[in-house]
Structure 1
Amino acid sequence: MSDFDSNPFADPDLSNPFQDSSVTQVRQTGPPGLEEYNPFTDAKPMPAGMAPKTAAPTISAQPAIMKPTEEPPAYSQPQSQQTRAAAELLRRQEELERKAAELDRREREMQSISASGGRKNNWPPLPENFPMAPCFYHDITVDIPVEFQKTVKIMYYLWMFHTVTLLANMIGCLAWFCVESSRGVDFGLSILWFMLFTPCSFVCWYRPLYGAFRSDSSFRFFIFFFVYICQFGIYVLQCIGITGWGASGWISALTGLNHSIPVGIIMILIAALFTSLAVMSLIMFKKVHAMYRTTGASFEKAQQEFATGVMSNKTVQTATANAASRAAQGTLKEQI
């Protein structure tokens, strides 16, 4: 068995077949790179003396996936759009909750009013032990529709600004009278304007505006427009400040500046208040007029409301009945 396990090529008597002269000649005369040729690969044999190129990275085989010709619709919105949509929904929800709370409060207010037998006047807000009782009922959130509440509030604040300006005008005329004794007339007229225009402006143009938006009354709108135009003209005159008219306007301020610089500065500030009051009044007049045109009011409707209100007035009815009875009695006496 040892004879079969031995290497036959290890026998020195046998020659190596790869060292045969014919094989060696073929190897030497063969094409270059034949020794490096591997028949089991796709690479071609390289010439001798040239470095083999780096093998390209093998690409792992993957299953073929067909791509659609159209992209599928995006079912999810970007994060920013989702945030904005959520904020918008929250804002609308808060607005609805606020309106619901307002309606609930107004309903409770109306129930309390009906339970107490009617609305009690609450303006001006006077103490309970004051000898004079309030004259008007004033509650914008209860009486005025939601879409008009902002405008009515601005007009109410404008009336308050008007009152503060008249009070400041009275102080400015007093300071002018202190440095120049011949300006007593201006100081007296400033007191008169403050005592006269403060209640009259509230009754003559603010209350008609309040009632017009509360009951959608065309007649009250026309009263407001007529009185407010006159009020705007008074603002312009007070802004000019003609000497002797009791207004610390621009002319009076420049005149007072020649006698006393501190008094002149005070009057200039008051003239600026009158100017801003006139400008804001003109802006709000245009805004109210634009809202009036959207309410469907008209001059014919105002005439009908006036005629209905006059004929439904008990005083007018009594006077008409008395006049008719007297006319009838006179006719009977003439016939007798």
Structure 2
Amino acid sequence: MAVVLSLVLLWLVIVYLPFLMPGWRALLGLCVALGLFHLGVRLGVAGWTAAEVPAPLVATGNFWLDLCVWALPVTILARAAGLAAKSWGVKGRWLGAVTLAGLLALPAFWAGQGAMTLWSRRPAPAACTARPIPILLSGIAGAVPWSEAIMLYLGPDIRREGRYPLLPRHGRAICRETSGGRDGLRITALSVRAAAFQRERCGAARLPDGEGSLCALLRDAGAEIVPEKMVFFEPGGIRPGDFGIPAAPTSAGTATGTGERLVVVPDTGLGEISATCRLAPAADGRLYCRMRRKIVEGLDLFWEIGALPEDLSVVLTGADALARETCATVFDVPGCRAAP
């Protein structure tokens, strides 16, 4: 406890040191000294490895960078405001008020930062998140749950136009853009991670019919046929390379790249499955395969999965069936469960 109190007192002395400066020259000199010390902390051990830095220097550097650097600019500016008020002729009680405000600037800044952090993390309205998210992809209406398995994209810029429903600021944006869940959110792509969906949604006591049928399929299916990623997208609305999607639907005539081969599974009742698979297996012995097909006009499906070479046909067939069931859960279009 004594060590902690000593560190707290040392921190208070350092961060409030600007208020001991009687004038502008002293404050400027302190700023120069602190700047040189900061430069020394940053660059003084640049030629050393982590193991070569003496422990006292490590402790000093961490104390300075973690506890002092962010606080000193506030107290320096607060003291500068007090000196400016004094030079403008402010005296007596008013000067005391300015000085007191300067002393309180640091805790006020700290409290303000905390309040802003809490405000930025506030959840989306409960009335909105109680409803599924209505979406429109190429004019095709659908709905998805509020789930960590779901990622929505409003345009080709996946960083700026991505929406992750469980991220608070994205959830609030979705609620604004859908008028509280009443209007369809226009998107160009929907990414679904089936494994995350199964983990998060399928343990619920009550599920919508569509989700219930998908969860039943996930329970019956082995983990080896669950695609690592599924993307439903508008062909002209995204940059396929951002998702690892082939430039065109895969078929028996698809040209393969270096280190790839085409695997074709005969008609399964839902159409032929053609996927491009790597020639060399990964460290876990699996071959990674990608498949893209057209569902209906304006809506394509992409999925990728890894499979052991001897199980390739079975895994590709199961993955395609699971992807189509996911499609039917989201979109009410005949192409999800029928051959294109």
- TM more than 0.5: no
**What interval of TM-score do these two structures reach, taking the shorter chain for normalisation?**
under 0.3
Query: Based on CA coordinates, which of the two structures has the bigger radius of gyration?
Result: 1
Question: More strand by proportion, 1 or 2?
Answer: 2
TM-score (norm 1): 0.22
Structure with the larger RCO, 1 or 2 (CA within 8 Å, 6+ apart)? 2
